[in-house]
Every structure is written in structure tokens, then in C-alpha cells.
Amino acid sequence: PNNLKPILARIDRIKHSNSLYNSLISVRDENVLKERTTNYFQKNKIVPYLCSIKDNIVTTEEATTCGSKILENYVSPFQATVVSILEGSNKGSQKDSQNFTKSIVIGKSNLDQFGMGSGTTNSIFEPTTNPLYKNQAHITGGSSGGAASIVTDDVCDYSIGTDTGGSIRLPAHYCGIIGFKPSYGRISRWGVIAYAQSFDTVGILSKDIKIIEDIYEQLNQYDPKDPTSLSNNLRKRIEEITKKRDEKLSIGLIQETNVEGISEEVSRSFNEAIEALFNINHTIRPVSLPSIKNSLPVYYTLALAEASSNLARYDGVRYGFHSKSSEASHGSDSSQKKDEFGPFSETRSEGFGKEVQKRILLGTYNLSSDSFKNNYLKANMVRKSLINQFNSVFKVPNVLSSTEEESKEQLRENKANNNKIDVLMFPVSTSTAPTLEDFLRKDSESSLNSYIDDVLTVPASLAGLPTIVVPWKSAANQMPIGIQVVGQFGDDQQVLEMGQLLL
């Protein structure tokens, strides 16, 4: 579009949309947004994108809260690399920002505290609700629920979210939009507040795959500030082994993802999608990845162990919230001590939500000497074997598990044998979005009930694999159903192309 009217109208709708669905924790000043948009348009003759940033990614213009009291008023002194790239202000960028459409950030989106949850209900800023449902409040899924909701309501062109164990994919599925979680290490995590650092990824939610591709193209670059960013050398190796593909794809259906309780609508949509691919001559192949069955407990063992150590930095001294009651009881003239850890434990008990506290305790236990051997190391071994099983089914070798020579040899062999697959395909969740009421009731009975929602999203996270969720609209279903496509590590391009094919 070459006029400003529609985008200015969307800026005018931000507050109203937010009052309906509570997608945003902070909203930038409308007049500033309009001025930035207009200036950019006048200078470049193109309309910028409007986007939101999940509130666990630091920005300097407002607080970055992680949805938690402990960071409620925390304003970062620096900005995340992803935000600087999108706004066209990243100094060390490997790509020329002039070649890309700039984005205007409208605000920060709601999330479960520190990304811990599957509903966007664990936020001190109240739950986000799903714009697809007008009569009764339904959840968006989590933890990037605000990111999904503001896109679903057509305010933003796209949102930046994070995905540790499904946080982009579950909301995309529940809200009927596209969610893309690239390979681990593709997009910079500099300025992304850690939940579980060996799983955390940054990704994109949108209704338009072209926008996802454009934003991914901008963000897909090495960042020297992020020690887990994929090196330029590995990026080059990946490019070499993933190019020149057959037009006809081989698509794997995993026996182990045929989990109990998949609803009729989910299996109907999924079967329709497979049939459509089959009808245009792609090959469908059953595969078996036995360790998938253990991925949920493995994820919740490792992610919580990492979280317990990441969240140790919130001590009330260096960051954010500091308990007042601790000052009252530990001040110099106070005669009675409340507990031996003093302000540290009071700040954390008041600052972290219940779910976060529970996870810190569980994670600390997993790392304690008793549990370390029995749980933590075992979980790591199962993670390893799951990665090996993924490697054994994909046509493209995993650059992280093989040397340059080995992976070239492997690729030749796999192509000759012709029994390997390009991508895997499975549902995102067993059902469509539950009502807020049902979700909260089940969650209060046991948080295991919401952990179970992650059973189909954590496998790709354990292996760091690129994954896209695209909505499948079936004539027989009321709501769109997300189809999940997973590729080999680094094979993001194939995953995006497959997403395109399903739309």
C-alpha cells in the first residue's frame, strides 16, 4: 500500500484493542508513533511495519517487566540486538538496513512471568484473551500470548516473541496465525532475558508468511554479542548442504506424536493437510522417534534447572524490585530477624509469582547432589538420544553433530538411499483454545495439566530445530488448526517453504 491511512488507523486502534484483549503491557505514545511512521514514509516512500516486542526482550524506551513484579519498573540501559536491527539502528549489523523495510515498535506484549506458562495467564498484568472468540473469554496460549493476540486483532503486522518450549507455536495455533521458531542460535538472544538458555529462541508471529520471511531475513545474522549465535562459518556450511533440493518433498509422520486425546477437529485438519500434500505428489513416510515419548519430563527437568540458575540474579540488589518489608525487619535498629537469608528471600518471595517460585525450587532440586545423577544427567542423555534420532531420519545432516567432511559424505549417502525425509509434520496441541475459566480451573488443580499442553512442542525445542506453525482452515471446523512443520537443524528455509505450501 502506498498511503498512510490504513497504518494510521491501526495506530488509532491500539488502545481499544488492548482494552478488549489485554495484549500489551506498555504502549508507546500514539503521537510519537504517528510521527515516526509519517517521517519514515515521507523519506522512503514506503509504509513501515507495525510490530510489538514481547516483554522479556529489553528496550530502552520503557520498562521490560517479564510480566513479573520483580522487574515491574526495570528499564534496561541497553537495547536487544533484534530491536535495534528492526528499528534500523544496529551499529554492528552484518546486513545493510537500507535494504529492508523498517519497523515501528508500538509497545511490549504480555506474557507468562519469565515465559513460564502455556496460557499467558501467569502475568501480574492479568491474562491476555483470544480475539478469535467474541462471546466467552478463551486463552491465547502462552507464553507469547500478547504477541499473538495483537497480530490476530490486525493491529500489528507482526510480533516478536520467544519460544523455549512452544511459546510461539501454541499461541499461533490457538489464535489461527503463523508462528515461526527458527533454529537455536539463528537469531540473536542479546537482550533477551533468559529463561532456559539452551532452549530459548526468538521468533516471529504474523498472519502473512511474506512478512515472516522478510523479518527473518533481517534478523538471521551472526551477533558477536551473543555467545550462542551461530557463527558465519556454520551458517555457510548449512547453506551448502541445504541448497539444491528436489521439488518433491518427503514428509515424515512421527508414530510417537499420535498422542492420546487428540480431538476430532485437530485430527481432521491434520489429515486434510496430509492429503493435500499427497495429492500434489509429495511423499508421506512414517517414521519412529522413540525418545519423543520422554521429551516432556526431560524438558521440565532441564529447563527448570537452567531457570533456577538464571533467575538467581534477581536478588533485590542489582535488578528491579527490592522488598520494603525486608528493610523494615532488617534495618539497623531492628531487633528481630525474620530469616537468615534476609532481604534476598523476602524480595524473591514477594517479587516472583507462585509458578516461578515453584519452578526455581524444582530446578534447584534437579541440580542438587542427590538428583543430579538420577535426573539431570539422565535427562541430558535422553536429550542427546532424541537429537540422534532426529538426525537419523532427516536427509540433511546436522552440522552440529558432524564435521564438514562427515556431513558431505552423509548427504551423498542419504540422497542415494532415498529413504530419508525433508521435514516432519505433526499437530501443535490436542485441541483448540480452552476457555479462560476452564484453563484456570485445571491449572489450579495441578500445573501438570498445563505442562501437558507442551507435549507436542518441546521435542523440537530439545533439539533446537526450526519449526513453523501454519493455520489450516477446514470447511468442517469452526476454528483454524495449527499444523506444525519441523526441519533439520539449520534447515529453516525448507521449513518456511513448506509453510508456504500449506497456506
Instruction: Tell me the sheet residues that pair with 253.
Output: 286
Q: Which residues contact 152 (CB under 8 A, 6 or more apart)?
A: 130, 131, 132, 140, 175, 176, 177, 207
State yes or no: residue 454 binds ligand GLN (CB under 6 A). Answer: yes
State yes or no: residue 163 binds ligand GLN (CB under 6 A). Answer: yes
Residue type, 2: N
Identify residues 122-141 at the interface with ligand GLN (CB under 6 A). none
Spatial separation of the C-alpha atoms in residues 62 and 177, rounded to whole Å: 27
Task: Tell me how far CA of residue 433 lies from CA of 305, 326, 484, 502, in angstroms.
Answer: 29, 41, 16, 21
Give the one residue of 48, 67, 145, 166 binding ligand GLN; rule: CB under 6 A.
166
State yes or no: residue 195 binds ligand GLN (CB under 6 A). Answer: yes
CA-based R_g, the chain, Å: 23
Q: What is the nearest approach in angstroms of ligand GLN to the Cβ of residue 139?
A: 12
Q: Which residues contact 398 (CB under 8 A, 6 or more apart)?
A: 387, 390, 391, 407, 488, 489, 490
Identify whether 384 is a catalytic site residue.
no
The span of 36-44, 102-110, 163-171, 222-230 binding ligand GLN (CB under 6 A) equals 163-171
Residue 211, SS3? helix
Identify residues 296-315 at the interface with ligand GLN (CB under 6 A). 303
State yes or no: residue 164 binds ligand GLN (CB under 6 A). Answer: yes
Spatial separation of the C-alpha atoms in residues 499 and 203, rounded to whole Å: 15
Total residues at interface with ligand GLN (CB under 6 A) = 13
- Dmax over CA atoms of the chain, in Å, equals 80
C-alpha 80, offset from chain centre: 16
Q: What is the DSSP string of 406-432?
A: HHHHHHHHHHHH---BSEEEEES-SSS
Nearer to ligand GLN, 165 or 343 (CB): 165
Cell numbers describing residue 252: 515424515
Give the one residue of 107, 115, 182, 353 binding ligand GLN; rule: CB under 6 A.
115
Q: Give the residue nearest to ligand GLN (CB).
A: 167
Identify residues 244-303 at the interface with ligand GLN (CB under 6 A). 303
Give the position of cell 515516526.
36
The span of 76-84, 109-117, 241-249, 324-332 binding ligand GLN (CB under 6 A) equals 109-117
State yes or no: residue 58 binds ligand GLN (CB under 6 A). Answer: no
Q: What is the nearest approach in angstroms of ligand GLN to the Cβ of residue 332?
A: 41
Q: Which residues contact 370 (CB under 8 A, 6 or more apart)?
A: none
Q: What is the nearest approach in angstroms of ligand GLN to the Cβ of residue 116?
A: 5
Choose the catalytic residue: 54, 102, 395, 420.
54
Nearer to ligand GLN, 87 or 355 (CB): 355
State yes or no: residue 167 binds ligand GLN (CB under 6 A). Answer: yes
Helices of type H across 67-208: 81-86, 145-152, 169-175
The span of 116-124, 150-158, 185-193, 376-384 binding ligand GLN (CB under 6 A) equals 116-124
State yes or no: residue 347 binds ligand GLN (CB under 6 A). Answer: no
State yes or no: residue 491 binds ligand GLN (CB under 6 A). Answer: no
Q: What is the nearest approach in angstroms of ligand GLN to the Cβ of residue 439?
A: 13
Nearer to ligand GLN, 200 or 272 (CB): 200
H-helix or E-strand spanning residue 451: helix 448-451
Identify whether 26 is a catalytic site residue.
no
Say if CB 324 and CB 346 are below 8 A apart. Answer: no
Q: What is the nearest approach in angstroms of ligand GLN to the Cβ of residue 136?
A: 23
- Residue 324 is given by DSSP the state H
Task: Tell me how far CA of residue 336 lies from CA of 324, 331, 467, in angstroms.
Answer: 16, 10, 55
Q: What is the nearest approach in angstroms of ligand GLN to the Cβ of residue 157?
A: 23
Spatial separation of the C-alpha atoms in residues 58 and 71, rounded to whole Å: 11
Burial 32-53 (b: 16+ CB within 10 A, else e): ebbebbeebbeeeeebbbbbbb
Nearer to ligand GLN, 57 or 287 (CB): 57
Identify residues 197-226 at the interface with ligand GLN (CB under 6 A). none
State yes or no: residue 118 binds ligand GLN (CB under 6 A). Answer: yes
State yes or no: residue 117 binds ligand GLN (CB under 6 A). Answer: yes
Nearer to ligand GLN, 199 or 314 (CB): 199
The span of 115-123, 318-326, 420-428, 488-496 binding ligand GLN (CB under 6 A) equals 115-123
Choose the catalytic residue: 23, 143, 250, 323.
143
State yes or no: residue 56 binds ligand GLN (CB under 6 A). Answer: no
The span of 157-165, 182-190, 283-291, 425-433 binding ligand GLN (CB under 6 A) equals 157-165
Handedness of CA 114, 168, 424, 255 (dihedral sign): positive
Say if CB 100 and CB 145 are below 8 A apart. Answer: no
Name the site residues for ligand GLN (rule: CB under 6 A): 115-118, 143, 163-167, 195, 303, 454
Question: Which residues are marked as active site?
Answer: 54, 143, 167
